[in-house]
């Protein structure tokens, strides 16, 4: 099968986006792994598949696959790329787009300056929503990773995150501790691991070791998770600029029960086709 695709990125978090509205397209795990290989395939962090909606009042449905072939619930950077893709391809002319995902419904708003704001829904700190196994409820949990103990804030923003506040962002710690916690037995479905350095109440540095991918240049849901964790603990204000390796995201959260709003760019790199 000859597959047409668009390569995109959100702050360096890169995607292959496929139109499954105009033509039905199905992928298996082996095909996704082949396509994601940066030497033998196209190369990407995630594959985004744009599909017709299955629910009333929705504009589209989209599915998200990691480079290892696993399907995930949510991706903030991918959502922004999704919005730019459907507008650029003429699949819609709406600037406010309602989309089905595996985790539920999200709303995308395309601004006049090209930035995209994503309504990420309300976050949850309930262990069962990640899931995260624990005998008691707490705001911070200790977890062993290798020979060390880390204090994490588990939070779901449509997908599971473990946020760790650190004094400095160290390459070795992100790589080794991130990998250990991602697959820790207390996270039955694995977890994304965020390392957050608080600069001031409105600004953080962040690196994220993503579940099924490894560290990426940027993680939109990771930025949301870090900010809501920081607000919960009183470290951050309701509006925060998040500095990621690929660039900046702007996150807003007004507190419990309110949605998280993420604003940032999306860019098309190139279009192409490849035989599966």
Q: Does position 228 have pLDDT exceeding 90, yes or no? A: yes
Say what the pTM is: 0.93
The answer to whether residues 108 and 145 touch, using CB atoms and an 8 Å cutoff, is no
Q: Structural domain of residue 252, as residue ranges?
A: 127-258
Is 134 annotated in a binding site? The answer is no
Percent share of the chain, pLDDT over 70: 100
| CATH code of the domain in which 162 resides | 3.10.310.10
**pLDDT in the model for residue 276:** 82
pLDDT per residue as tens digits for the range 47-58:
999 999 999 999
Q: Are residues 105 and 148 in the same domain?
A: no
Which residues have CB under 8 Å from 114's CB, separation 6+? Answer: 84, 265, 266
Strand pairing report for 148-156 and 247-252: unpaired
Which residues have CB under 8 Å from 7's CB, separation 6+? Answer: 14, 15, 16, 17, 42, 44, 268, 269, 270, 271, 272
Q: Are residues 146 and 101 in the same domain?
A: no
**pLDDT in the model for residue 96:** 97
Q: Strands, E, within the chain: which ranges?
A: 2-10, 13-19, 46-51, 60-66, 71-72, 96-101, 104-110, 116-119, 141-145, 148-156, 160-165, 192-200, 203-210, 214-215, 239-244, 247-252, 261-264, 267-275
Q: Are residues 145 and 246 in the same domain?
A: yes
Is 192 annotated in a binding site? The answer is yes
Q: Are residues 135 and 93 in the same domain?
A: no
Q: Are residues 132 and 86 in the same domain?
A: no
Percent share of the chain, pLDDT over 90: 94
pLDDT per residue as tens digits for the range 253-266:
999 999 999 999 99
The answer to whether residues 46 and 75 touch, using CB atoms and an 8 Å cutoff, is yes
| Alpha-carbon Rg for the chain in angstroms | 18
Helix (H, G, I), strand (E, B) or coil at 265: coil
Q: Are residues 166 and 220 in the same domain?
A: yes
Based on the structure, what is the number of domains in the chain? Answer: 2
Q: Does position 104 have pLDDT exceeding 90, yes or no? A: no
Is 28 annotated in a binding site? The answer is no
pLDDT per residue as tens digits for the range 4-39:
999 999 999 999 999 999 999 999 999 999 999 999
The answer to whether residues 241 and 227 touch, using CB atoms and an 8 Å cutoff, is no
**pLDDT in the model for residue 103:** 82
Which among 72, 22, 25 has a CA at the least distance from the CA of 274? 25
Is 66 annotated in a binding site? The answer is yes
Active site residues: 75, 219
- What's phi and psi for 178, nearest 5 deg? -55, -45
Is 77 annotated in a binding site? The answer is yes
**pLDDT in the model for residue 74:** 87
Lowest mean pLDDT, pick from 7-16, 100-109, 184-193: 100-109
Q: Are residues 84 and 162 in the same domain?
A: no
Strand pairing report for 116-119 and 261-264: antiparallel
Rounded to whole angstroms, the Cα distance separating 93 from 113 reads 16
Q: Which residues pair with 50 in a beta bridge?
A: 19, 62
| Confidence class for position 1, pLDDT limits 50, 70, 90 | confident
Q: Are residues 136 and 43 in the same domain?
A: no
Is 159 annotated in a binding site? The answer is yes
**pLDDT in the model for residue 130:** 96
**pLDDT in the model for residue 177:** 97
| Confidence class for position 85, pLDDT limits 50, 70, 90 | very high
Q: Are residues 198 and 164 in the same domain?
A: yes
Q: What angle is formed at CA 144 by the lines to CA 143 and CA 147, rounded to 5 degrees?
A: 155
Q: Are residues 178 and 106 in the same domain?
A: no
The answer to whether residues 196 and 163 touch, using CB atoms and an 8 Å cutoff, is yes
pLDDT per residue as tens digits for the range 155-180:
999 999 999 999 999 999 999 999 99
């Amino acid at each position: 099968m000859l597959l047409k695709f668009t390569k995109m990125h959100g702050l360096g978090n890169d995607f292959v986006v496929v139109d499954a509205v105009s033509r039905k397209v199905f992928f298996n795990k082996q095909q996704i792994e082949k396509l994601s290989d940066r030497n033998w395939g196209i190369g990407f962090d995630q594959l985004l598949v744009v599909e017709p909606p299955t629910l009333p009042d929705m504009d589209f449905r989209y599915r998200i696959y990691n480079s290892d072939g696993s399907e995930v619930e949510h991706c903030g950077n991918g959502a922004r790329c999704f919005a730019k893709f459907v507008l650029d391809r003429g699949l819609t002319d709406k600037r406010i787009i309602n989309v089905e995902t595996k985790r539920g419904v999200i709303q995308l708003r395309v601004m006049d300056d090209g930035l995209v704001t994503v309504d990420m829904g309300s976050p949850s700190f309930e262990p069962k929503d990640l899931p995260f196994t624990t005998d008691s409820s707490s705001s911070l949990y200790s977890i062993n990773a290798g020979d060390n103990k880390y204090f994490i804030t588990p939070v779901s923003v449509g997908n599971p995150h473990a946020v760790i506040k650190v004094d400095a962002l160290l390459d070795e710690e992100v790589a080794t501790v991130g990998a250990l916690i991602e697959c820790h037995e207390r996270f039955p479905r694995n977890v994304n691991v965020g390392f957050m350095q608080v600069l001031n109440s409105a600004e953080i540095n962040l690196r994220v070791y993503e579940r099924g991918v490894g560290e990426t240049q940027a993680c939109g849901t990771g930025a949301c998770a870090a900010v809501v964790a920081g607000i919960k603990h009183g470290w951050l204000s309701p509006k925060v600029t998040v500095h990621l390796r690929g660039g900046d995201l702007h996150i807003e959260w007004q507190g419990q029960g309110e949605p998280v709003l993420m604003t940032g760019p999306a860019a098309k790199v190139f279009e192409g086709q490849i035989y599966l």
